[in-house]
Amino acid sequence: MLHQNTLEHLRVKLGTDVFDLVGDTPLVSLRRIAEHVQPVQVYAKAEWFNPSGSVKDRPAREIILAAERAGKLTPHKILLDATSGNMGIAYAMLCAARGYQAKLVIPENASPERIKILRAYHADLVFSNALEGADGAIRRAREIVAANPGQYFYADQYSNPANWQAHYNTTGVEVWEQTHGEITHFVAGLGTSGTFIGTGRRLRELNPNVQLIAAQPDAPFHGLEGLKHYQTAIVPAIYDASLADAQVTVSTEEAHAMVKRLAREEGLFVGVSAGAAAVAAIQVAEKLREGVVVTVFPDAGFKYLSDRFWEEK
């Protein structure tokens, strides 16, 4: 039986700025929604404990630090990237802390909460076609860079190896230590794929028998913010198709229903991609007789309060 989290996993970090507060998020047990799969245990990384409120603080931090070390990001350069929201917020927060300007391309249908947060950090926003989703934002960002390459550091989260390396160096290590090496299955949604690739590679090194399961939407048109339908979308350059032992799909309706369940049965107020992750993790756990399944909850639910599914009965 896996030991329960103790206060050492919730330790306070004394940092000098927000860069020092990224990572070391707690691992929470999904007791009630996973009660029917016992003795299999299901856990989730509570990534809203990061300073900007999402898992994207990890790759944004590593991308900025790597760019500084390489001399690619200086006070005279503008950090530019495409984002569906959370990565942009992480960039904007960290750039504000460093004194950089962030220019972010985001679909015009991004939630009002996201837009207000980005503007609070004084990010320069460019809106792309809502019907083109994250891929449209990527194409628009590339056009901006091509028009004036000397003005920008193009962070390119979908192709930048610092994205997955952030999770290799932090998330994977944390999951291993928090489960005392007892993890048997790791489940994560595919957006940029950085969380899945980086964490998966580290866990596979620590135990070659750990099963890695990737989750994605079940259709090209979906409401799973931050996730991509890889069969029809631009596949990120950092994605390694050979890494996953299995793939699972989740519908928008399943994720929305799970978000409500997590709030009402576990006391966890999470975002839509976290709901999708929970659905996927339970799907995996239901096929096991024993094991420790770990997934990642990318953010809390506060940026989704304007979504209509909360009003549905």
Which are the catalytic amino acids?
56, 273
Which residue's structure tokens are 């160096």?
169
Q: How far apart are CA 1 and CA 121, in angstroms?
A: 44
Distant-in-sequence, close-in-space partners of 268: CB < 8 Å, separation ≥ 6: 28, 44, 46, 262, 274, 297
Compute the distance between CA of residue 290 and CA of residue 39 in angstroms, rounded to an integer: 6
Task: For tokens 């970090």, name the residue.
Answer: 13
Burial pattern 56-76, b for ≥16 Cβ within 10 A else e, equals bbbbbbbbbbbbeeeeebeee
The C-alpha atoms of residue 40 and residue 113 are separated, in whole angstroms, by 37
Q: Which pair of tokens denotes residue 281?
A: 């993790």
Coil vs helix vs strand at 220: coil
Q: Which residue has the tokens 């299901």?
A: 42
Contact 229, 265 (CB under 8 A): no
Distance CA 124, CA 118 (A): 8
Spatial CA neighbour of 50 closest among 166, 221, 160, 182: 166
User: Is the Cα torsion angle 125, 129, 131, 134 positive or negative in sign?
Assistant: negative
**Cβ–Cβ contacts within 10 Å for residue 202, how many?**
23
3-state secondary structure of 116: helix
Nearest residue to 162 via CA among 66, 88, 298: 66
